[in-house]
Amino acid sequence: MVKKIILLASLAVAMIAPQSLKADEGMWLPMFIKRLNYVDMQKQGLQLTPEEIYSINNSSLKDAVPIFGGGCTSELVSKNGLVLTNHHCGFSAIAGLSTTEHDYLRDGFWAKSTDEELPAPGLSVQFFVRMEDVTNKIQEVITANMTEDERYESIQTLARKIEKEASENGKYSAQVKSFYKGNEYYLFVYQIYKDVRLVGTPPQSIGKFGGETDNWMWPRHTCDFSMFRIYADKDNNPAEYSKENVPFHPKKYLSVNIGEKTEGDFAFIMGFPGTTQRYLTSWGIDYLVNTEYPAFVDARAKKLDIMREAMAQDQATRINYSNTFASTSNYWKNRIGMIDALTKNKTADKKREIEAQVQKWIDGDSARRQLYGDIFAVMQKYYSSTADADAAMQYLSQAGLSGSQLAGVARSIAMVLNNDKMPAEAKKQYIPTKELYSRLNIETEKELSAELMKHIVANVPDSLLPSVLKDEIKKAGNVNLLAEKMKKSVVFTPDDFIKMAKENPKALNDDILIKINLSYADKYMELRKKMSVIQNDFNRADRLFHYALIKAFDGKKVFYPDANFTMRVTYGQILPYDPKDGVTYHYETTLKGVAQKYKKGDVEFDAPEKLLDLYAKKDFGRYANSKGELVTCFLSNLDITGGNSGSPIMNGRGELIGIAFDGNWEAMSGDIEFEPTLQRTISVDIRYVMFIIDKFAGAQNIIDEMTIIDTPSAAKAKDVKTSKKNRK
């Protein structure tokens, strides 16, 4: 036991030691900024102290950067709880508040006073309070002879206990997170505010200009922002929505800098990146490119086609399905880009070179051969033996379980109402009402259910299809006749579905739509269970691979932890890039690009007449740059991923200069391998945001609430040549 603890401790030091840091790569835990990154950040242009970035005892930048909703980042920009995030992060809440009479997605919304702000049910923000290393505590419950299941259960039991203690009887939300595939553990404590209200949003033609065509692409010209306000009780504590609540007063908020930015300027981001796989093996990459991602893309493409056609025919359908379409489309295009980038950038080949060096290190010592000798063979076996099942699971999940919203809800209702272990009184709240149908189009749901079922049958091998589905196809005569039968499900007749749920819930399991959807779930779990048989061996091999990787490159390479939706800091410079031979992308775009891309009436490239008039008159006010242009978006070499959407991009003084919203197409492989010559963060320039609020919307009350600074953004890196190295 002692020997094992010493090994883990030495590994931790190797993982975080500042050996060859690169300012553009890395998602750094703020707790370690002082020890690992501060000197380098100073050289690049940082003018803050580590305590001003992350502090437990005093206000710091971390207090101005909460999690927004379930998967984005945001920033406080006033003493009265005003929050900025991306338009696409607020999209669900905006869509939920929109109706055919008040279409805030299409027309935008601006509250002229706090009385006009719109409560957004279900929306919350989470403030990061503190983090703590609990690795030693976790190690105490781990023994060398444990199976992977035993190890997992022991860790989870202790983690829940640590979280409960840290929550202080519900005052906080606490999570113990694993790092380096279970080699380190940290506790993260948050405070959640649940009364969040919409303050302002530009129309979708501004906030999502370029639509799916421009998504993940440069150059960009979208003003991807929305504004909300956090409310609290009279003592500034979290509270459920109430008219008696008052604007929240944060410990820290950001000043807005509308000054000039130039190439090489230092910039940094604080935010909550979701997931990266920077230490994925070559076999894992081949698995994604050849198996998992193609199935994912194909399943979602079919769903998008059905929704796109329905949304084009009806305004209410467009509003009600806009969020589902956007969320489905985002990672559909992301996975297409991942396949393309991982292939073009030969990422798997780079990993193979690393693996060869690790293998050489393993072979150099008999004890190492004994401990690590089988790890690559185990991982190879896992990927080769689970490929077909994984592809089938993608179709069952993306086209089946996540296909029709109505079918998915009906399946869940049937499962609950027929759960004999649940008290009858508790089941009553799951009886459907007409409200279930209020934001769904029944004909669209019919098409999604039937056509996606046919798509599953066409793409999943017969041996991996649910037996219930195969039986029902035989009973119906063929798959097309079954599709028509599904459209006649009781679920698509609200009164009949509600009546059956109340009076005869057992009959729900015999309804053809519910029956088939239950079969998707059953088959998915069956395949998952079969995969889990060898998953334990894989998990062990993967964890040991991390040991070997760190040791093999000891003193040569730094290994920051993969993203896991915990607060991170990334820093670098504002830079252009060269995507291919003979092409250089400038680091800024201007409103001129909106006028050039504009297509009247186009769903993606239309623009408001007022915006075009302001451009024609060059009426940019104090938000114009020194050339009289209005900058819309800019590039930096900062290291972000999903979850960073809405993150503040700040200058060396910690002033807000932009809002991160995207990565670039050429480096879509960045979640797996950082590409220094290609990888860029795309941000909306804060001057464009202020211009839209001020000149376009005329929301002077919002402008007056913020602290606006008009000075040059920040110092450049001391060695500008170094900052430009990643363009070569």
Cα 497 to Cα 409, 413, 452, 488, 494, distances in angstroms: 12, 11, 22, 12, 5
Cα 258 to Cα 519, 626, 638, 655, 709, distances in angstroms: 56, 12, 20, 10, 6
Told to judge if 404 belongs to the known catalytic residues of this protein, a careful annotator would answer: no
Measured CA to CA, the distance from residue 63 to residue 68 in angstroms comes to 13
Q: Do 100 and 316 meet the contact criterion of CB atoms below 8 Å apart?
A: yes
The DSSP bridge partners found for residue 118 are 198
Q: Which helix (H) or strand (E) holds 130?
A: strand 125-133
Catalytic residue, candidates 24, 224, 286, 542: 224
Looking at residue 494, its amino acid is: P
Sign of CA dihedral 562, 567, 573, 576: positive
Q: Which two tokens stand for residue 530?
A: 């079969």
The DSSP bridge partners found for residue 68 are 72, 125
Q: What is the chain's length?
A: 728
E strands in 295-339: none
Neighbours of 140 (CB within 10 A): 11
Told to judge if 88 belongs to the known catalytic residues of this protein, a careful annotator would answer: yes
| CB hemisphere CA count around 215 (13 angstroms) | 19
Rg of the chain taking only CA atoms, in angstroms? 26
Are β-strands 195-201 and 118-119 bridged in parallel, bridged antiparallel, or unpaired?
A: antiparallel
| CB hemisphere CA count around 423 (13 angstroms) | 2
Nearest to 587 by CA among 653, 635, 554, 539: 635
Q: Which two tokens stand for residue 598?
A: 């504009």
Measured CA to CA, the distance from residue 689 to residue 620 in angstroms comes to 12
Cα 584 to Cα 219, 261, 581, 588, 661, distances in angstroms: 11, 19, 8, 12, 21
Spatial CB neighbours of 271, under 8 Å, sequence gap ≥ 6: 65, 73, 567, 568, 640, 643, 644, 646, 647, 648, 660
Measured CA to CA, the distance from residue 341 to residue 303 in angstroms comes to 24
Q: Do 468 and 381 meet the contact criterion of CB atoms below 8 Å apart?
A: no
Catalytic residue, candidates 88, 221, 455, 546: 88
The DSSP bridge partners found for residue 709 are 257
| CB hemisphere CA count around 424 (13 angstroms) | 3
Placement of tokens 């292939």 in the chain: 343
Nearest to 449 by CA among 411, 412, 504: 411
Told to judge if 645 belongs to the known catalytic residues of this protein, a careful annotator would answer: yes
Measured CA to CA, the distance from residue 686 to residue 707 in angstroms comes to 13
**Three-state SS at 634:** strand
Active site members: 88, 224, 645
